[in-house]
């Protein structure tokens, strides 16, 4: 899987059974590319990106250098620290961040299970799936299609 952006940037994502591992980055439509691997915490947050070599010629895992570091608040707002001259571009182009969800850099929203989440307002800006509403219909207040879990995160279903 991957994406081609209008500025000539090509991203190809690398997965295993546990989820996303990293990506390949190219600025010349795929002729030359650089490997980047994700560092994750126990919650699945992407906490860092490590440079992993170019055009398939990667070194050992010990030779990977950290390019950037992400810190998140409870709602997904990220603070980015970069290391080196090209690291700011890699930190910005990286689409996977908080809890390994896809981050739209143009809007600042996360795409989570068919919905958009805005970390600035700490909530969803698109409605929930109807099947989740039906499952939670017996709970007062649970028919709010923009809500996450009302005040009961144990009993109600959501994508986060």
- What string of DSSP letters covers 63-75? G-EEEEEEEE-TT
How many residues comprise the chain?
Answer: 160
Mean pLDDT (the chain, rounded): 80
Q: What is the pLDDT of residue 58?
A: 47
- 133 pLDDT above the threshold of 90: no
pLDDT (tens digit per residue) in 52-100: 876 655 444 446 788 999 999 999 999 999 987 778 888 988 999 999 9
Q: What is the pLDDT of residue 28?
A: 78
Tokens of 155: 């009993």
Percent residues over pLDDT 90 in the chain: 37
Q: What is the pLDDT of residue 132?
A: 64
Nearest to 139 by CA among 131, 130, 149, 129: 149
pLDDT (tens digit per residue) in 30-62: 678 889 999 999 999 999 999 887 665 544 444
Q: CA-CA distances (angstroms) from residue 16 to 13, 19, 22, 54? A: 10, 5, 10, 20
Q: What is the pLDDT of residue 71?
A: 95
Q: What is the pLDDT of residue 137?
A: 62
- 119 pLDDT above the threshold of 90: yes
Answer with the residue of higher pLDDT: 142 or 131.
131
What is the DSSP secondary structure assignment for residue 134, as one 8-state letter?
A: H
Neighbouring C-beta atoms of residue 120, cutoff 10 Å = 10
C-alpha angle 71-64-61 in degrees, rounded to nearest 5: 110
Distance (Å, whole) CA 38 – CA 19? 11
Q: What is the pLDDT of residue 5?
A: 76
In this prediction, residue 7 has a pLDDT band, given cuts at 50, 70 and 90, of confident
Q: What is the pLDDT of residue 79?
A: 93
Which residues neighbour 16 within 8 Å (Cβ) at sequence distance 6 or greater?
A: none
Does the reported pTM lie above 0.85?
Answer: no
Q: What is the CA radius of gyration of the chain?
A: 18
């Amino acid at each position: 899987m991957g994406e081609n952006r209008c500025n000539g940037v090509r991203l190809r994502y690398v997965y295993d059974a546990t989820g996303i591992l990293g990506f390949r980055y190219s600025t010349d439509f795929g002729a030359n590319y650089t490997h980047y691997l994700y560092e994750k915490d126990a919650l699945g947050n992407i906490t860092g990106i490590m440079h992993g070599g170019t055009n398939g010629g990667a070194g050992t895992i010990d030779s990977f250098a950290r390019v950037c570091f992400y810190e998140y608040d409870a709602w997904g707002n990220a603070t980015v620290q970069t290391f080196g001259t090209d690291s700011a571009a890699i930190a910005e182009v990286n689409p996977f961040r908080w809890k390994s969800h896809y981050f739209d850099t143009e809007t600042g929203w996360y795409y989570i299970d068919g919905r958009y989440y805005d970390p600035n307002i700490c909530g969803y800006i698109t409605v929930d799936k109807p099947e989740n509403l039906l499952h939670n219909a017996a709970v007062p207040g649970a028919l709010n299609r923009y809500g996450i879990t009302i005040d009961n995160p144990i009993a109600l279903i959501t994508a986060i």
